[in-house]
């Protein structure tokens, strides 16, 4: 595991948990990213790691919700957490790249855990650079593998008209989407389907919140024949689930097991958020901290996967044993998935069709995918 090894201008919403007989100093702090602590996604999954750790270790803990998603608001939330006694601060999401870079210098005696990103220090070099200080651990996940498993599973279960509705077009979301396409393609190969047999509608909402616009687009997709939409954007999933319930569609959840949110969720492309938070907290409180590193968690380390509990496994024909075989191949690297998109797809307007992407078995000949603005 070693290798994975002034608060006046902005109002903050903080929820403190009481432990034992009274209120302890909040030694553990979590600063929420865009969205709420109960967003059924990244914030909630990370917070559950704090709560799970505290089931066996009674440590004071508190979360802080900045009033807005700006560097200044995030930094002030970190300031407040430290002033309240936090020894270790959990920050989920890429929007903390710069705030954590600043905080790790300002508070060298505080430990920071940055999930899904690395600190970006604008003062290093001519244009800034990523730098993980000795008091910080960055945690990255192989989203492309998790997306792959979801795409593979839905096609093996008989679905060939798919949708991908991402939040913001950031690296983690793009990796989820690419993996979803490659997995769908490889399943189509395994089933002997014709070229372009699997169609995928692709869209970014531009944010991580539930909106009427996202719900309306998802409803349109379902009405046009899409049977499964991968909702990859935090609370965007709530919009897609509502549309699925109205139009008899299905949903792939993201980050955490979202089966409990809606009966329409066929599976969820998960990250090991809770496990990685618990590991970091254990290292901190057991005096085993090894900072200055980035953990890259993939299938070989239990960093990604699909939920296999009976209440969460809602495939009709694809079996858990078949899933475990594919998961094992990813872990052993006998199946690999690209984690980056071609340069032309990364153009600012994002209007190019998604086609001929290199994958585990060459170009994605079985996929016909198009971006919808």
Does residue 122 share a domain with residue 208?
no
In a domain, 99, yes or no: yes
Does residue 347 share a domain with residue 214?
yes
Does residue 366 share a domain with residue 281?
no
Does residue 205 share a domain with residue 335?
yes
In a domain, 1, yes or no: no
* Domain with 169 in it: 143-271+308-371
Does residue 218 share a domain with residue 201?
yes
CATH of the domain at 251: 3.40.50.2300
Does residue 254 share a domain with residue 290?
no
Does residue 235 share a domain with residue 103?
no
Tens place of pLDDT per residue across the chain (373 aa): 433 333 333 334 444 333 322 356 899 999 998 778 887 778 998 999 999 999 999 899 999 999 898 999 999 999 999 999 999 999 998 899 999 999 999 999 999 999 999 999 999 988 899 999 999 999 999 999 999 999 999 999 999 999 999 998 887 888 899 899 889 999 999 999 999 999 999 899 998 889 999 999 999 999 999 999 999 988 899 999 999 999 999 999 998 899 999 999 999 999 999 989 999 999 999 999 999 999 999 999 889 999 999 999 999 999 999 999 999 999 998 887 765 554 433 333 333 334 334 344 456 788 888 778 6
Does residue 198 share a domain with residue 327?
yes
Strand partners, 65: 13
Q: At 188, is the secondary structure helix, strand, or coil?
A: helix
In a domain, 328, yes or no: yes
Does residue 251 share a domain with residue 105?
no
Strand partners, 224: none
In a domain, 133, yes or no: yes
In the chain, the number of structural domains is 2
CA distances from 166 to 209, 213, 235, 237, 260 (A): 11, 13, 11, 9, 21
Does residue 167 share a domain with residue 250?
yes
The DSSP H or E segment spanning 305 is: strand 304-305
In a domain, 3, yes or no: no
Does residue 225 share a domain with residue 149?
yes
In angstroms, how far is the first alpha carbon of the chain from the final one?
A: 42
Distance CA 77, CA 13 (A): 9
Phi and psi, residue 111, nearest 5°: -90, 140
């Amino acid at each position: 595991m070693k290798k994975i090894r002034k608060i006046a201008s902005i109002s903050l919403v903080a929820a403190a948990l009481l432990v034992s007989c009274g209120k302890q100093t909040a030694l553990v702090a979590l600063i929420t990213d865009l969205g709420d602590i109960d967003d059924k996604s990244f914030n909630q999954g990370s917070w559950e790691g704090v709560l799970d750790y505290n089931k066996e270790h009674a440590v004071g803990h508190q979360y802080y919700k900045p009033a807005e998603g700006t560097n200044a608001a995030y930094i002030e939330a970190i300031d407040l957490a430290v002033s309240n006694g936090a020894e270790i601060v959990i920050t989920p999401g890429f929007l903390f790249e710069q705030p954590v870079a600043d905080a790790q210098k300002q508070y060298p005696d505080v430990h920071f855990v940055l999930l899904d990103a690395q600190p970006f220090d604008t003062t290093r070099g001519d244009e800034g650079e990523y730098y993980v200080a000795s008091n910080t651990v960055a945690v990255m996940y192989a989203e492309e593998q998790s997306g792959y498993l979801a795409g593979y599973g839905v096609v093996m279960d008989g679905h060939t008209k798919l949708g991908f509705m991402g939040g913001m077009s950031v690296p983690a979301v793009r990796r989820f989407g690419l993996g979803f396409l490659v997995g769908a393609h490889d399943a189509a190969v395994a089933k002997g389907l014709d070229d372009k047999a699997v169609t995928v509608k692709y869209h970014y909402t531009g944010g991580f919140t539930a909106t009427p616009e996202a719900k309306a687009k998802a409803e349109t997709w379902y009405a046009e024949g899409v049977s499964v939409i991968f909702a990859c954007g935090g609370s965007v999933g709530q919009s897609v689930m509502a549309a699925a319930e109205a139009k008899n569609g299905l949903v792939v959840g993201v980050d955490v097991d979202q089966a409990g949110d809606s009966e329409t969720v066929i599976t969820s492309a998960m990250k090991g958020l809770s496990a990685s938070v618990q590991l970091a907290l254990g290292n901190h409180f057991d005096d085993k901290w090894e900072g200055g590193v980035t953990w890259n968690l993939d299938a070989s380390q239990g960093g990604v996967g699909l939920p296999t509990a009976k209440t969460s496994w809602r495939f009709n024909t694809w079996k858990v044993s078949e899933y475990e075989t594919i998961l094992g191949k990813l872990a052993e690297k006998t199946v690999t998935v690209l984690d980056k998109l071609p340069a032309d797809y990364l153009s600012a307007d994002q209007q190019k069709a998604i086609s001929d992407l290199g994958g585990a078995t060459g170009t994605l000949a079985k996929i016909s995918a198009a971006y919808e603005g």
